[in-house]
Structure 1
Amino acid sequence: MSRHCLALSGAAALLLTAGPAAAQTGAAVSDPQRAMLWFLLSTLVLVLLVFLLLFVALISWMRPQLRQLYNLPTVHDTWSGRVLGLLVGDARLVKGEVRDELLDHNYDGIHEFDNDLPPWWKYGFYLTIVFAIGYVGYYHVLKTGQLQGAEYAAEMQQAALLVASTPDDPNQLTTYTVLTAPADLSTGKSLFATNCAPCHGANAEGKVGPNLTDEYWLHGGEVNHVYKTVKYGVNGKGMVAWKGKLSGKQILQVTSYVLSLQGSKPANAKPPQGEKEAPAVAKR
């Protein structure tokens, strides 16, 4: 019976571990495999229930012999004897020794009874004391472990290492300055008319996208913030990323042209959106 149970457990574990691997490779589990898995699991549960019933029947059959063994003075008060007592109906291990013992004093006719705390509760309480001493010693006395603040700082530092510090890192702000050469602004205007005007309007007055000529910005109005918005877009807001479609210089030319429109007050301008901000000029 035990060999059969181990064989079923091994087969079930094999199928359970094979499931995630198949999912990672994109393979779907077929209906026959799923049916076999449920059959094996059901059989395993049935075998465990049979073992449990056999164990209960064996304890019931051997209870007189267990009771005699439990009543032996050398066994009754030992820890193993208390465990044995659970099998013969003595719950001292769970409920304690003293139950409803009448004390020798009363108050206004009210009698007081004494009861042991459940042993499992007392041992659990002692365990919390040991844990507290170990915790204070490990973290605060020896200072071997990291407290929450130090753990947070270490995790943030590790996360920062996972972000590549490259020009394509969206978390690394550039240090560009606004282009003012007529040729750059002319190119920026042409690129804006081709790529940006459908959403922001021919004069950047705003259509689907926001008005770009006022002092209000949703994602920052400084040249490097606008550059970042144009390059990487804004997920979920309709602003597409122009990285890979425009070169870095072209993005800077569009950015510079947009900032040159500040205060132009075009007709039919869209109401302000975002926070009021005066665009700052970054130094190289």
Structure 2
Amino acid sequence: MTGAGALLLHAGPALARAADAAAPTPTPAAEPKLLLFWFLVGVLGLVLLVFLVLFVAIVAQMRPQLRRVYELPSVRRSWSGKVLGLLVGDPTLVRGEVRDEILDHDYDGIHEFDNDLPPWWKYSFYVTILFAFGYLGYYHVAQAGQLSHAEYETEMQQAALLVSPDADDPTKLTTYEALASAADISSGKTLFASNCAACHGQNAEGKVGPNLTDEYWLHGGEVNHVYKTIKFGVQGKGMVAWKGKLSGKQILQVSSYILSLQGTKPAGAKEPQGEKEAAAKPVAKL
């Protein structure tokens, strides 16, 4: 009996797991409800379509009788009569009264007709007035909604959550200062000659790429903007990203060397491109 009891104790958990595995997984209740919702929407749309077809058919059959009712003066001037007029082909409710009566105003031979504004225009104007009061009450009185500035701030805060905090974030601007030592400027010159001169020229006068010696910049002339352009490149403009080929120190050396060329006016310099911006020119310390 003791051996049988121990066997049952060990087999109990296994049997429980087997029973759990064999139990059918309950289907989510949301899917049948969604199907039922769209089924009801489809039935409602079909019913409305049937009623519309029947209404058009009835109006077409009864149009002569409706026309005679509409011709009655007491009916024609009423609001319901104008609605009836739409059914028999009179667009007065939408177009307004066209009396073609000339007023006694005469300005340089220009006469004024006494016609009503189109009702659709007047009703639209009334709707804008109601909307203005609702907007004022909702946003300024009750302050239930965010104004444009607050909405912008909220969106910027939400966007900040998606920005990567690391150094490879192209939207994050660095806070470097231009290098000014002779060694850094010399290293930057060597790196520029071997990597950048093919597009910008040996003296940065500009070839395929823009001239880098003037005061005009396409993507900013401050050292951190130049650093960012070199590191991440410019998609669609032919400027490749150098972050995988040059180290951060080397990129800063190249950026500093470029800024040291400001105002050198090399021969055959390319015409200015971009916005004028006086960049801080590093001075080499000998």
TM-score (norm 1): 0.52
Matched length: 219
Shifted more, 117-126 versus 233-242: the winner is: 117-126
Per-residue deviation, 1:196:
1.0
The answer to whether the 8 A contact 1:176-1:224 is kept is: yes
Give the counterpart letter for 2:280 in structure 1. P
User: Which residue is equivalent to 1:246?
Assistant: 246
C-alpha deviation, 1:195, in angstroms: 0.9
- Tell me the equivalent position of 1:268: 267
Instruction: Indicate conservation of the 8 Å contact 1:206/1:270, yes or no.
Output: yes
CA contact (8 A) 2:204 2:211 kept: yes
Change (3 A) 1:224 1:80: same
1:137 corresponding residue in structure 2: 137
Paired AA for residue 143 in structure 2: K
Letter aligned with residue 229 of structure 2: T
In 2: Cα distance, 1:256 partner to 1:223 partner = 7
Contact preservation (8 Å) 1:216, 1:272: no
Query: How far apart, in 1, do the equivalents of 2:223 and 2:239 lie?
Result: 17
Query: 1: CA distance between counterparts of 2:208 and 2:115?
Result: 75
Give the aligned partner of residue 257 of structure 2.
Answer: 257
Give the secondary-structure state (helix, strand or coil) at the position aligned to 1:277. Answer: coil
Residues 137-175 of structure 1, C-alpha deviations (whole Å, 9 max, x = no match): 222222222333433444444444444343223332212
Moved more, 121-130 or 232-241: 121-130
Distance 2:118 2:207 in 1: 73
Taking the aligned partners of 2:237 and 2:139, their CA distance within structure 1 comes to 46
Which deviates more, 87-96 or 142-151? 87-96
RMSD: 4.9
TM-score of the superposed pair, with normalisation by structure 2: 0.52
Q: Secondary structure at the match of 2:173?
A: coil
Q: Which amino acid aligns with 2:255?
A: T
Mapped to 2, the partners of 1:152 and 1:174 lie a distance apart of 24
Equivalent residue for 1:164?
164
Q: Deviations over 1:95-152 (max 9, x none)?
A: 99x999xxxxxx9xxxxxx999988777666544443332222222222223334334
What 5-or-longer segments of structure 2 have no aligned partner?
A: 1-38, 71-77, 105-113
Structure 1: unaligned runs, 5 residues or longer: 1-6, 11-43, 71-77, 101-106, 108-113
Change (3 A) 1:199 1:91: closer
Query: Does the CA-based 8 Å contact 2:170-2:232 persist in structure 1?
Result: yes
Relative to structure 1, the CA distance from residue 225 to residue 63 in structure 2 (aligned partners, 3 Å threshold; closer, same or farther) is closer
Equivalence for 2:178 = 178
CA distance in 2, matches of 1:270, 1:118: 64
SS of the residue 1:231 aligns to: helix
Deviation at 1:204, TM superposition (A): 3.1
Contact 1:138 1:145 in 2 (8 A): yes
The superposition leaves residues 250-273 of structure 1 with CA deviations (integer Å, 9 ceiling, x where unpaired) of 21222233334456x486351562
Q: Provide the residue aligned with 1:279 in structure 2.
A: 280
Q: Deviations over 1:9-63 (max 9, x none)?
A: 97xxxxxxxxxxxxxxxxxxxxxxxxxxxxxxxxx9xxx79x84x6544444467
Same amino acid, percent of matched pairs: 65
Q: How does 1:1-284 map to 2 (within 5 A)?
A: 52=53, 55-61=55-61, 127-180=127-180, 184-212=184-212, 214-218=213-217, 219-262=219-262, 265=264, 268-271=267-270, 273-274=272-273, 275=276, 277-279=278-280
For 1:136, give the aligned amino acid.
L
2:151 alignment partner AA: E
